[in-house]
Each structure stands twice: as structure tokens, then as C-alpha cells.
Amino acid sequence: MSLALPMESNPDTMNKYLLKLGVSEKWRMVDVIGLESDALAWVPRPVLAVVLLFPLSEIYEQLRRKEENNLVNKEPPKDVFHLRQVLSNVCGTIALVHSVANNTHNIELKEGPLKKYLKDAEGLDAAAKGALLENSTAILEAYKDIVHTGSSVPEESNEDPSNHFVTFIHKDGTLFELDGRKTFPINHGPTTPESLLEDAAKVCREFMARDPDNIGFNVVALVPSL
């Protein structure tokens, strides 16, 4: 099995990848330049998903273990598409899959590797979805094709990356954090399609406040193309 390439939090690269996967050109990723209200006002609406890149740290690991313990023996929320991460470098791909898979009622998917993956993943649990993605060569190779046409090509690696992606989505009035390294989606309370960005930004600020010595945070959002 070929190893996965780590993804940068770069909307241009992400958008090329989404197009290659079969996502309609009507939707794109954009940078969120700040998490305060004046900066958020510049982000096109509606926002379908928010993706946070952050540094992995012991602080995150402690919180993850605590959340996992609190969710033992609980049922995952219905109608939320969540998959577990298997390969070390695919958290960027997983974040994009989470963004699109939970918004298929808004996003037109053309015939392609992502539409096939989502069809094959119907009825599977999070672990099985993750294993299926690991074996979805077309999805992983599509990203390699894009980065290999760029000016800089990251090296393939089986080492644990130092950064990690998570996705925030709205589903049935609730803000969910979708993290491939966690067993369940994390419920962050009520939200609406209109307030998703602001509510997700609040959680992103909490991530930053927990780890103030780190600067490797970046936020992008899935929005309509202009």
C-alpha cells in the first residue's frame, strides 16, 4: 500500500482536490483570516463546514482521552457522517470528506471517487468507513496527482505528523466536531446554518486558548463560489 501525503491548509490546493474528487465547482474552501466578528463578516455565506488545523500536543491528547471516556457506551448521533482515521497522514482528506459528506443535500457530487466512496460507506460504522477510505486508492492518488503538479512536493511519510485537521458542521440544530482520531463526533451545543461559522470560531478560539504557546493554527471554510 502506498503511503499518504500530508496536506497543507491551503484553499487553492484543497479546491483542486475537491474538484478532482467530483465536488461541484459551486463550492470552495476559503481562508478565515480571523476569528473575531469583524473578520468573520468577510467570509461568504452560507458556510457549510469549518476546518481547523492545529498542532498536536499532550494538551490535545489529554482532552481527547477525557472526551473518549465520557462517550463510552454512548450511541453515535444519527445522520452524522463520521469516520475513524487509519493512516497517519490522511487527516486533511478526512476533514474534506467530513465537510462534503455531511452536506450532500447542498453539494452536487459528480461521478467520481468521492461519490463512489460515500455510496460504498453507507451503513458502515466509523471504523469501517476509515478502513474503506484507507483502501480507496483513487481518493488518495487524486491528492498525490495534485501536489506532484505543484512547485513543491511533500515527501511520503509514515511518521506521525505534528499537525491535525478537524471539521465542524451543523446537523439538526447541533454543532459537531468531527475528528478522525476520536471514536465519536463531539457535540458542542446548539447552532444553526446561519451561525455555524461564529459558533465554530468560538470552539476554535478554545483550542487556541488551551495551547497558547503554539502558533500553528489555521482555519478554512467551505462556502459558495463567487
Catalytic positions are: 91, 164
C-alpha cell at 89: 497522514
C-alpha cell at 141: 492518488
Residue 81, classed as helix, strand or coil, is coil
Give the E-state strand segments of the chain in sequence order. Answer: 27-31, 49-55, 163-171, 174-178, 186-190, 218-224
Question: For the sheet containing 174-178, what is the strand order?
Answer: 27-31, 218-224, 49-55, 163-171, 174-178, 186-190
Cα–Cα distance list, 37 to 129, 195, 197, 201, 211 (Å): 36, 11, 10, 9, 22
User: Within a 10 A sphere around the Cβ of 126, how many other Cβ atoms?
Assistant: 21
Strand partners, 168: 50, 177
C-alpha cell at 192: 444553526
